[in-house]
Structure 1
Amino acid sequence: MERKRETLKSRLGFILLSAGCAIGLGNVWRFPYITGRYGGAAFVLIYLLFLIIMGLPIMVMEFSIGRASKQNIGLALKTLEPKHTKWHIYGPIAIIGNYVLMIFYTTISGWLISYFFYSLRGDFSGLDTAGVGQVFTTLLQSPWKMIFWMVLATLLGFLPVAKGLQNGVEKISKWIMSGLLALILLLAINSLTLKGGSQGLRFYLLPDFKRMTETGLFSAIYAAMGQAFFTLSIGIGSISIFGSYIGRDKTLTGESVRVIALDTFVALCSGLIIFPACSAFAVEPNAGPSLIFITLPNIFNQMAGGRVWGSLFFAFMSFAALSTLIAVFENIVSYWIDVHHVERKKACLYNGIVIAALSLPCILGFNVLAGFQPFGPGSGILDLEDFIVSSTLLPLGSLIFTIFCCTRYGWGWNNFISEADAGSGLKFPKVLKFYFQWILPALILVLFTKGYWDIFVR
């Protein structure tokens, strides 16, 4: 007897889950930094353009593949592909991409959860800049501490998935996303009221094309293209799974716009938190982990009620991380349910153990295996794992989805449009068929090539 496929209970659940998958750490620690580097609001305008012309259509394609096939990405391409073609080969590769993403994302999520507890109990109070930096250094040099927090993050991600789609994933994600949105608004309002924050706000909101040209116009365009593309987690089927759980009463272009609007709202609000705060306390918004784990705790230390605001900030960051963990874990577990017919709770147990074990090299790369530097001095195992996902599988998968949906060699343009436009709402712009068939794949190839060029040639 064929197993009845689970579905989401509500349209809101679908939008929040999909947005939760897209909203991640890049929205908070990468977006503000590259915005500052490339001219503030001038960069944001270019970013929004690429979000519309690249991110949006590929998200619609992922949702369409999921909804039409009613399958996990492991079977979706096989279900829709023409006879005697091999598109389905990418299905298991995409699932591997989900695993690789999770074996370093769980480690970073563990850092964030640990910092929430550190901030809550006042561990940063009274520390100077060097002292705050030492807290992070000590964490990185303590594999057992990182393993504890990584396992906790993995457990918190899998528990809702084990409870089922509607009663676990959908219900918990609604609470997490609601808390995330409430916290980011509260934090943004607090930053906007800081004395001396107006200069940072002007920098963020007023376009400075001169600054952009000084840093290099092409570099700014490429950075905007990359951020718009990678912020949505498109290309490895982690978005398409939620398309497979919904009905055909709403068009997928309209739903994608709503998901992207939520993702963009969080990214833009992150800038409203960070730029005024950095300006108010004369601190440069540095890149990467140092922004979150060293720069911001120092700012909260100087702020009235800083212990409270710091705790709220890391609660917000933990929610952002957990929303992605839950969404991607659901994709992995649904693969084992659909393809290997493993019961949901067993699939969660097995995969929880496997992902925790596979996360160990990332953790050990900061201490025991620190001598392994795959891309030269300063790089580590996390950088290698991130490169596999961000610079390889995300663009490669997006290119495959684009060709699969828009050409006669795959599922085909007419089939894709029929699925994307089913229901009421915003229709896919069919008049731009030439762009989707030729120009969009070329843009993705530029991203793919540039990622490899920066690592291996430059």
Structure 2
Amino acid sequence: MQRERLSSRLGFILLSAGCAIGIGNVWKFPYMVGQNGGGAFVLLYLFFLLVMGIPVMTIEFSLGRASQKSPVRLYQALAPKGSKWYLHGYVAMAGNYIIMMFYTTVAGWMLQYFVKTAKGTFTGLDVQQVEQAYDQMCADPVGMVLFMAIVVILGFFICSFSLQGGLERVTKYMMLALLALMLILAVHSCTLGGAKEGLTFYLKPDLGKMMDVGIGNVVMGAMTQAFFTLSLGMGGMAIFGSYIDKKHALLGESINVALLDTFVAVVSGLIIFPACFTYNVEAGAGPKLIFVTLPNVFNHMQGGRLWGALFFVFMSFAALSTVLAVFENILACCRDLFGWSRKKACLINCILMLILSLPCALGFNVLSGIHPMGGTSTFLDLEDFLVSNLILPIGSLIFLLFSVSKRGWGWENFLAEANAGKGPKVKNWMRGYMTYVLPFLFIVIFIMGIIPLFQK
């Protein structure tokens, strides 16, 4: 089967960035900054993105380009005969399914909020009523399943066209529109009355606030956020690596994608914090910041209905960019495994994903009595835990060890592939860092991620 190709370098960068850019950037990053003392957290986040995220992204791109396969088949192409590395390929494939089992529901929330904001549903509501509107949305099984289904069907419909004619074309326009929307919203926020206080909180490091939260907690929060924001460990970047030529070295491409990802995360803070300080909203409001806090902000804002609708269009684009990228991963794995055509793989996976996404969509209403992790936990909590705390850190560690170990692909092979083409190169002195220091950091993240299980 002829390997499909992306038509341009821009398409590759925007697609890869689309996979990385998602709700984690524009939802989780701002509230993590708010909870962890502002500017000091941002600096630590950027540091860990540089020392952890970019090296592993370079590895994933290299594995994909060298093997010309999806994650489920790349080890068979690159690993020594008789080794068991290929088992991770199936785990990576499963991870793509699991993340979409809850991400499609959250993407559906963004679409719902766009519709509600554009219709003026939140206009005139007080703080308590906006919170009730969020609870009512979650409690409505029909609405939750409907918008989840729209995301799934739309995603696979776009992916059912050729790689260039469907996924690449739509993602290019959507990502460019997302970036333009962000800049418009950020410029508007910076004209608000509380912009100076908001930007000071966001961008000025404050060691006092770090001490209050606990330096260890802030460092750990920045490390995990930098790691998870790039969606590494499931082969998301490997698949796009398999669609590109050898004109450009892969460290430079990783830097470009990380810069775009960071730009979106940082600018989302420029949108949110000036508004929070203008309208006396708690900057560290946590996960509720997007769904409860911001509709209140838009209610008080001149032309708030328009700005709110634009904001949730931007949120929907961010969510859909990830959905499309991960769906492409799933399709590539199925086509490599079973030899299906693109359209057949889309049809089968569309039906499968609609079924697999139901527990999360119904977990807030019909299935709300089931708590898979105890307490008040939902199916979303379980699925998010499996991906974020197990599959991503363990997967990144395996990709890393496979690329530096003589029993795997090996450093020399990785170096040759990563450095093929023009642009910044991986240096030989990085070998010790990537062989010993990086694995240690991933083990720390994994241990910190599972500690909450034993504290219940």
Task: Tell me if TM exceeds 0.5.
Answer: yes
**Count of residues in correspondence between the two structures:** 456
The match for 2:426 is 428
Does the 8 A contact of 1:185 with 1:269 survive in 2?
yes
Gaps of 5+ in 1: none
The match for 1:227 is 225
1:12 maps to which of 5, 10, 24: 10
Does the 8 A contact of 2:35 with 2:285 survive in 1?
no
AA aligned opposite 1:244: S
Moved more, 330-339 or 4-13: 330-339
The match for 1:212 is 210
1:182 maps to which of 171, 180, 187: 180
AA aligned opposite 2:422: S
AA aligned opposite 1:452: I
The match for 2:300 is 302
Does the 8 A contact of 1:29 with 1:287 survive in 2?
no
AA aligned opposite 2:122: F
Matches of 2:328 and 2:189 in 1, distance apart? Answer: 35
The match for 1:443 is 441
The match for 2:35 is 37
Q: Alpha carbons of 1:28 and 1:223: their partners in 2 closer, same or farther (altered >3 Å)?
A: same
AA aligned opposite 1:386: D
| Superposition pairs of residues 43-62 of structure 1, within 5 angstroms | 43-62=41-60
Displacement of 1:288:
4.8
Does the 8 A contact of 2:35 with 2:283 survive in 1?
no
Displacement of 1:137:
1.0
Displacement of 1:39:
2.2
CA offset digits 1:86-114 (Å, max 9, x no partner): 10011111010000000100000001001
Structure 2 residue matching 1:268: 3-state secondary structure: helix
Displacement of 1:289:
4.1
CA offset digits 1:36-78 (Å, max 9, x no partner): 2222111111111110111010000000000000000010011
Structure 1 residue matching 2:230: 3-state secondary structure: coil
Matches of 1:32 and 1:437 in 2, distance apart? Answer: 33
Structure 2 residue matching 1:430: 3-state secondary structure: coil
Matches of 1:25 and 1:245 in 2, distance apart? Answer: 25
Does the 8 A contact of 1:160 with 1:169 survive in 2?
yes
Matches of 2:389 and 2:375 in 1, distance apart? Answer: 19
Moved more, 389-398 or 287-296: 287-296
Displacement of 1:268:
0.2
The answer to whether 1:456 aligns with 2:450 is no
The answer to whether 1:322 aligns with 2:327 is no
Structure 1 residue matching 2:333: 3-state secondary structure: helix
The match for 1:239 is 237
Displacement of 1:376:
3.3
| Superposition pairs of residues 287-366 of structure 1, within 5 angstroms | 287-366=285-364
Displacement of 1:291:
1.2
AA aligned opposite 2:54: L
Q: Alpha carbons of 1:287 and 1:98: their partners in 2 closer, same or farther (altered >3 Å)?
A: farther
Displacement of 1:367:
1.3
Does the 8 A contact of 1:285 with 1:295 survive in 2?
no
1:25 maps to which of 16, 23, 26: 23
| Superposition pairs of residues 100-249 of structure 1, within 5 angstroms | 100-249=98-247
CA offset digits 1:259-314 (Å, max 9, x no partner): 00000000000110111100000001345541111100110010000000000000
Matches of 1:128 and 1:396 in 2, distance apart? Answer: 44
Structure 1 residue matching 2:125: 3-state secondary structure: coil
The runs of at least 4 consecutive aligned structure 1 residues that moved more than 3 Å come to 286-289
Displacement of 1:404:
0.3
CA offset digits 1:174-226 (Å, max 9, x no partner): 01101100011111111100012211111111110121122111111111110
AA aligned opposite 1:352: C
CA offset digits 1:323-369 (Å, max 9, x no partner): 00000000101111122111111111110111111111111211122
CA RMSD of aligned residues (A): 1.0
Does the 8 A contact of 1:286 with 1:295 survive in 2?
no
Does the 8 A contact of 2:195 with 2:275 survive in 1?
yes
Does the 8 A contact of 2:35 with 2:286 survive in 1?
no
Matches of 1:254 and 1:454 in 2, distance apart? Answer: 37
Matches of 1:285 and 1:152 in 2, distance apart? Answer: 32
Q: Alpha carbons of 1:350 and 1:450: their partners in 2 closer, same or farther (altered >3 Å)?
A: same
Does the 8 A contact of 2:35 with 2:284 survive in 1?
no
Matches of 2:452 and 2:214 in 1, distance apart? Answer: 16
The match for 1:254 is 252
Q: Alpha carbons of 1:286 and 1:152: their partners in 2 closer, same or farther (altered >3 Å)?
A: farther
Name the TM-score, length of structure 2 as normaliser.
Answer: 0.98
Matches of 1:328 and 1:386 in 2, distance apart? Answer: 15
Does the 8 A contact of 2:144 with 2:362 survive in 1?
no
Matches of 2:454 and 2:23 in 1, distance apart? Answer: 25
Does the 8 A contact of 1:191 with 1:273 survive in 2?
yes
The match for 1:67 is 65
AA aligned opposite 2:97: Y
Does the 8 A contact of 1:161 with 1:168 survive in 2?
yes
Displacement of 1:126:
1.0
Matches of 1:91 and 1:126 in 2, distance apart? Answer: 51
Does the 8 A contact of 1:230 with 1:394 survive in 2?
yes
The match for 2:384 is 386
Moved more, 312-321 or 213-222: 213-222
Matches of 2:287 and 2:347 in 1, distance apart? Answer: 30
